[in-house]
Structure 1
């Protein structure tokens, strides 16, 4: 998630681009104003994500200082909304998209997504491939995991063509 630049790096970037030495405190003091400036855009992005036919949702872990945090994502091919929250259904709800979504939700089958009963669910293909790769490591003498991967690749080729 390289688009999230820490306050320290933001101060360095400002110095490198403008030559102005700014403190991390000054950069941090601008965050509430910046949040206010993008609030309308975030409302629009949330609304467009809720109205979409296919939505991908995921979460990952990161560290902010010494604290472990979870960025949650809701995205389409053209829109992405990220927010930090606990790794829970309540945390995912804080993004303001999933509780209202009614289309096809693509995710990694983490249990928190099962609570969204007003949408259709699909396992993310990338996560499925990871699970099949793990199965291949666990069951190296079996062929079913390779066969499923070949079948999925064939389906993707048919859909793209």
Structure 2
């Protein structure tokens, strides 16, 4: 006598189509900064919108840098310590220019791995040379909640 399965014959279940790309979860409506903006104005925006940083774009919406709370704090500290002239209190003087971006077509699980490796809080997404959006660690968490009912492969 053999072993009988009580689960019966498994029919192949139709797989639900759940979006898995970064572009499906990225934030498109962003608070952006401009290189000419005063750092004090940016700090007010960070506090008012409860964000920790954001992309810096030029007039053509091309990504030219990224600015964080830490960048602002360092700039304030340096400007007070070195008694910098007020005209140096511009975003262009404290933003990070070498910005790592992420592809909007990247799978969210690969994006999660990139977050862990790069130790970043956010990655801008550039399409056709223009800023298209931004994916954050929180967006990745939201995606996993949306996928909770799915089997992760």
Compute the TM-score of the two structures, normalised by the length of structure 2: 0.28
Greater Cα radius of gyration, structure 1 or 2: 2
Q: Which has the higher contact order (CA 8 A, sep 6+)?
A: 2
Which structure is higher in strand share? 1
